[in-house]
């Protein structure tokens, strides 16, 4: 008999209101326990085909190559840069938070010349700054931005930037990790060439897959590469042979149970309706933000460009932000996030994503946070916060 000590698997029940993951629907939980089949089994191939159709609907695209990369959202980012940048290429990247910075780092690792366009953490990248960077270079191959900056709560407008990409002949790549399924994302209508996301945010699926979509124009650029894609695992030419309809060539063993889960999560999105789902996130996010301000707290992200899926709020002076988060977890089983980078210790990040975006959760987190802040010495007007939220929820 083994003498290795280990604990039984018995995770606590949490209300996940941080920057991700979000709580998952019971149907998604059940899907993960569905019977295992082979990754080339006819039944699983039918689920693959169904999943790509559902993904096209949620991305609002007709792109043939639309599929989940086996890996978290960061794998989607790497797939974008590794396939479409070579040493000597030039890329312009918007950087106004941690995930913009990660884009810059990732692009630099391809050997490309990277021109960062920066803004303060919490503010958007202005189109004028993007155009200035595009004008400064003889040829920009790719321009990348984060639509929903998870580290700051800022929602980046995309239409003007997409227009600039077309004007200057650059591919347009967008990170929609914290927006897909909760904010409007329209790949075809907005002229996005390469788009990636994650499963654990507004799609309310466990982390582990990166929904990905690339159009024909970008694929033509990929075919013109003069060097091999450095990553074999993320090589889109190889992956497309596995995910395309018709004859499928083995590439890797797909995470079958995770794709079951994504299939069910996407089905839930389609059943609710994208427009209805976006409105739900807007209503609940707006109610939370109104409630926080009525309590006497200050929102961090730029007014008029705030995410509804993730709200950033300043920590009052003299308050131990980590202690409040620990109390929320221990006393109320509510998880929220702290700040990252230069915002560490200065903000909280409160997510209302997918299955977690409910009116009940808005009122619960306002009441719990207000009570804890009052105990800690901050005079939070919890009643006013709850009333402000209720007015927008009713």
Q: CA 180, 26, 50: angle at the middle one, nearest 5?
A: 55
The rounded distance, in Å, linking the Cα atoms of 69 and 208 is 9
Global pTM value = 0.96
Mean pLDDT of 167-178: 98
Do 92 and 209 belong to one domain?
Answer: yes
H helix and E strand count, the chain: 14, 14
Q: 330 in a domain, yes or no? A: yes
Q: 7 in a domain, yes or no? A: no
Predicted local confidence at residue 249, as pLDDT: 82
The rounded distance, in Å, linking the Cα atoms of 72 and 200 is 9
Predicted local confidence at residue 2, as pLDDT: 67
The 8 Å CB, 24+ separation contacts for 368-371 are 368/328, 368/331, 368/332, 368/334, 369/295, 369/324, 369/328, 370/295
Mean pLDDT of the chain: 97
Q: 200-251 pLDDT, tens per residue?
A: 999 999 999 999 999 999 999 999 999 999 999 999 999 999 998 767 788 9
Q: 10 in a domain, yes or no? A: no
What's the half-sphere exposure (Cβ side, CA atoms, 13 Å) at 181?
31
The rounded distance, in Å, linking the Cα atoms of 204 and 355 is 6
* Residue 337, domain extent: 274-393
Do 264 and 155 belong to one domain?
Answer: yes
Q: Are the beta carbons of 386 and 366 closer than 8 angstroms? A: yes
Any idea what the CATH number is for the domain that residue 252 is in?
3.40.640.10
User: Percent of the chain, pLDDT > 70?
Assistant: 99
Do 177 and 308 belong to one domain?
Answer: no
Last residue of a domain, one of 271, 294, 319: 271
Q: 4 in a domain, yes or no? A: no
Do 91 and 102 belong to one domain?
Answer: yes
Q: 109-145 pLDDT, tens per residue?
A: 999 999 999 999 999 999 999 999 999 999 999 999 9
Residues contacting 376, CB < 8 A, separation 6+: 319, 320, 323, 324
Do 265 and 289 belong to one domain?
Answer: no
Total structural domains in the chain?
2
Do 49 and 185 belong to one domain?
Answer: yes
Do 231 and 147 belong to one domain?
Answer: yes
Last residue of a domain, one of 256, 271, 286: 271
Do 238 and 294 belong to one domain?
Answer: no
Mean pLDDT of 309-315: 98
Last residue of a domain, one of 271, 302, 332: 271
């Amino acid at each position: 008999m083994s003498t290795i000590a280990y604990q039984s698997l018995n995770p606590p029940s949490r209300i996940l209101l941080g920057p991700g993951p979000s709580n998952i629907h019971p149907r998604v939980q059940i899907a993960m326990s569905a019977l295992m089949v082979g990754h080339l089994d006819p039944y699983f191939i039918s689920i693959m085909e169904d999943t790509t159709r559902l993904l096209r609907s949620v991305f609002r695209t007709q792109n043939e190559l639309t599929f989940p990369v086996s890996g978290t959202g960061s794998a989607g980012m790497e797939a974008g840069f590794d396939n479409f940048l070579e040493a000597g290429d030039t890329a312009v990247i918007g950087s106004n938070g941690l995930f913009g910075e990660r884009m810059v780092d990732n692009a630099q690792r391809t050997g490309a010349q990277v021109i960062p366009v920066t803004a303060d953490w919490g503010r958007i990248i202005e189109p004028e700054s993007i155009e200035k960077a595009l004008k400064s270079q003889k040829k920009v191959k790719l321009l990348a931005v984060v639509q929903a900056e998870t580290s700051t709560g800022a929602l980046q407008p995309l239409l003007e930037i997409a227009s600039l990409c077309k004007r200057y002949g650059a591919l347009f790549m967008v990170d929609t990790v914290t927006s897909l399924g909760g904010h409007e994302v329209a790949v075809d209508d907005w002229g996005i060439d390469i788009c990636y996301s994650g499963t654990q945010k507004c799609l309310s699926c466990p982390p582990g897959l990166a929904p990905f979509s690339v159009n024909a124009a970008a694929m033509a650029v990929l075919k013109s590469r003069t060097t091999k894609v450095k990553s074999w695992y993320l090589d889109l030419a190889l992956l497309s042979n596995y995910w395309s309809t018709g004859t499928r060539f083995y590439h890797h063993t797909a995470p079958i149970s995770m794709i079951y889960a994504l299939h069910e999560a996407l089905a839930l999105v389609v059943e609710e309706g994208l427009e209805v789902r976006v409105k739900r996130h807007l209503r609940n996010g707006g109610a939370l933000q109104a409630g926080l301000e009525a309590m006497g707290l200050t929102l961090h992200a730029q007014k008029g460009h705030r995410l509804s899926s993730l709200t950033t709020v300043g920590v009052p002076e003299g308050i131990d932000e980590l202690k409040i988060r620990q109390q929320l977890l221990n006393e109320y089983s509510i998880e929220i996030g702290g700040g990252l980078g230069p915002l560490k210790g200065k903000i909280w990040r409160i997510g209302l994503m997918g299955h977690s975006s409910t009116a009940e959760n808005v009122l619960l987190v306002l009441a719990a946070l207000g009570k804890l802040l009052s105990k800690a010495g901050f005079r939070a007007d919890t009643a006013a916060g709850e009333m402000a939220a209720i007015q927008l929820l009713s």
